[in-house]
Amino acid sequence: MKKVAVLGGIRTPFVRSFTHYRATTNQEILTAVLSNLVEKKNLKSKLLGDVAAGAVIKHAADWNLTRECVLGSGLHPATPGYNVQRACGTSLETTLQIALKIASSQIDSGIAAGVDTNSDAPAVLRRQMGWKLIDLAMAKTTLDKMKIISQIRPKDFFPEILGVKEPRTGLTMGEHCELMVQEFKIPREEQDQLAYESHQKAAGAYAEGFYNDLIFDFKGIKKDAFVRADTSLEKLGKLKPVFEKSEKGTLTAGNSTPLTDGGAAVLLSSEEWAEKNNQKILAYFKDAQATAVDFVGAKEGLLMAPTVAVKKLLERNNLKLTDFDFYEVHEAFAGQVLCTFKAWEDWGMGKIDRAKLNVKGGSLALGHPFGGNRGQSSNNNG
């Protein structure tokens, strides 16, 4: 198996949904991401092995999203592209798939990417209305068509706005996380502390210029919209719970990620391709693991799958949780991160040094576009 090199990446600024990127499509954002990566890494007219990208919230018209964006990116038009979707792990999955193709010599170079914009979320007609319209189109006689038209009701014309809820439970991710923090007994104060640390680290990274060449100017924005250098534990403590309104509620707008628009991409290759194309190797992709939990029948925490994945990953590579210099852990919610840490401690895996955690800021400070967030993590580590 070949070694897989990480050569660098780029992303948009992450912004609050329904603000700066309103009326901006996934295709426009992802095309901009790929185009800027092409410019940054001197890939104009280059034929790459593959491009994998995806989005969680997208229109049915985006069935060939990645390939369309490749055609507008400046890459050689024969460069293939395909869509991937694995919820908030979408761009991490694209990274895994491109890396495995390189490792197995199927390709020698590729781009992994992800994007999401709630500001262009599809509003669709009710499924029953769709069925009636199909029946209407298939009807042979005027009488048959009139019968079908007579069955259409005013409510059929009201669009359905797709929500980010788990269909089997009807709960949002935040509501599921509230159940998790209650189970693991994670206090509100600890969640606010993690959020405060995330903002302080992100502000420090901006001050030192870490993000200067990782974020490109898009729609007149050059900086993530959420970083709060002036936040404090006192300010965070004044915010009210947003998912559980009773005295049990601990998740607030301060210790939870907001709905976010943005996209990110990372360039991977074999060592040989990097050398041939004068690309500096920043890091190597070693391994990855995907798992799931039974959050319906066994009532396991919806967001606890990474806990199991990391355990398997470490065992396969004969490593311990404490063997690493830095840790990049997605902060969908501060409570979710702390539940993960608590589970690892309960399993005897050890305790992560918080000084080594998300040292350039995490999602609580930077933002969380569903399909694009893990691409940002790959860039931070690269």
pLDDT at residue 377 above 70? Answer: no
Which residues span the domain enclosing 133?
123-161
- What residue spans of the chain are helical by DSSP H? 26-40, 65-71, 90-103, 127-138, 142-150, 173-184, 188-207, 233-237, 271-276, 305-316, 334-346, 363-366, 373-381
> Same domain, yes or no, for 96 and 189?
yes
Take residue 8 and report the two structure tokens written for it: 């660098």
Q: How confident is the model at residue 202 (pLDDT cuts 50, 70, 90)?
A: very high
Q: Please state, in angstroms and rounded to a whole number, the distance separating the CA atoms of residues 365 and 377.
A: 13
Provide CB contacts within 8 A for 25, sequence distance 6+.
59, 117, 120
Q: Would you state the pLDDT for residue 164? A: 79
Q: Would you state the pLDDT for residue 153? A: 93
Q: Please state, in angstroms and rounded to a whole number, the distance separating the CA atoms of residues 44 and 116.
A: 25
pLDDT at residue 375 above 70? Answer: no
Q: What are phi and psi of 239, to 5 degrees?
A: -75, 145
pTM, entire model: 0.94
With a pLDDT cut of 90, the percent of the chain lying above it is: 92
> Same domain, yes or no, for 223 and 145?
no
- CA-to-CA dists, residue 322 to 287, 316, 372, angstroms: 17, 15, 28
Would you mind telling me the total number of residues written for the chain in this entry? 382
Residue type, 155: K
Q: Which tens digits make up the pLDDT trace of 76-91?
A: 999 999 999 999 999 9
Take residue 63 and report the two structure tokens written for it: 């069935």
Provide CB contacts within 8 A for 333, sequence distance 6+.
173, 174, 177, 191, 251, 255, 256, 257, 303
> Same domain, yes or no, for 263 and 325?
yes
Q: What is the mean pLDDT of residues 203-212?
A: 98
Residue-averaged pLDDT of the chain: 95
Q: Is 293 left (phi over 0), alpha (psi -120 to 50) or beta?
A: beta
Provide CB contacts within 8 A for 157, sequence distance 6+.
125, 129
pLDDT at residue 378 above 70? Answer: no
pLDDT at residue 53 above 60? Answer: yes
More confident residue, 236 or 127: 236
Q: Which tens digits make up the pLDDT trace of 250-271?
A: 999 999 999 999 999 999 999 9
Q: How confident is the model at residue 228 (pLDDT cuts 50, 70, 90)?
A: very high
Judge contact between 69 and 94, C-beta under 8 A: no
Q: Would you state the pLDDT for residue 372? A: 82
Take residue 286 and report the two structure tokens written for it: 């070693």
Q: What are phi and psi of 269, to 5 degrees?
A: -165, 175
> Same domain, yes or no, for 142 and 290?
no
pLDDT at residue 381 above 60? Answer: no
Q: How confident is the model at residue 379 (pLDDT cuts 50, 70, 90)?
A: low
> Same domain, yes or no, for 115 and 154?
no
> Which is nearest to 379 in space by CA: 215, 218, 154?
215
> Same domain, yes or no, for 221 and 317?
yes
Q: What is the mean pLDDT of residues 115-124?
A: 91
Q: Which tens digits make up the pLDDT trace of 298-311?
A: 999 999 999 999 99
Q: Which tens digits make up the pLDDT trace of 6-26?
A: 999 999 999 999 999 999 999
> Same domain, yes or no, for 61 and 185?
yes
> Same domain, yes or no, for 250 and 357?
yes
Q: Would you state the pLDDT for residue 124? A: 87
> Same domain, yes or no, for 311 and 183?
yes
Task: State the CATH number of the domain containing residue 301.
Answer: 3.40.47.10
Domain total for the chain? 2
Q: What is the mean pLDDT of residues 203-219?
A: 97
Q: What is the mean pLDDT of residues 362-367?
A: 97
Judge contact between 366 and 375, C-beta under 8 A: no
Task: Please name every residue paired with 261 in a beta bridge, in sequence order, or none if there are none.
Answer: 15
Residue type, 149: I
> Same domain, yes or no, for 211 and 252?
yes
> Same domain, yes or no, for 212 and 243?
yes
> Same domain, yes or no, for 345 and 243?
yes
Q: Please state, in angstroms and rounded to a whole number, the distance separating the CA atoms of residues 116 and 56.
A: 6
Q: How confident is the model at residue 163 (pLDDT cuts 50, 70, 90)?
A: confident
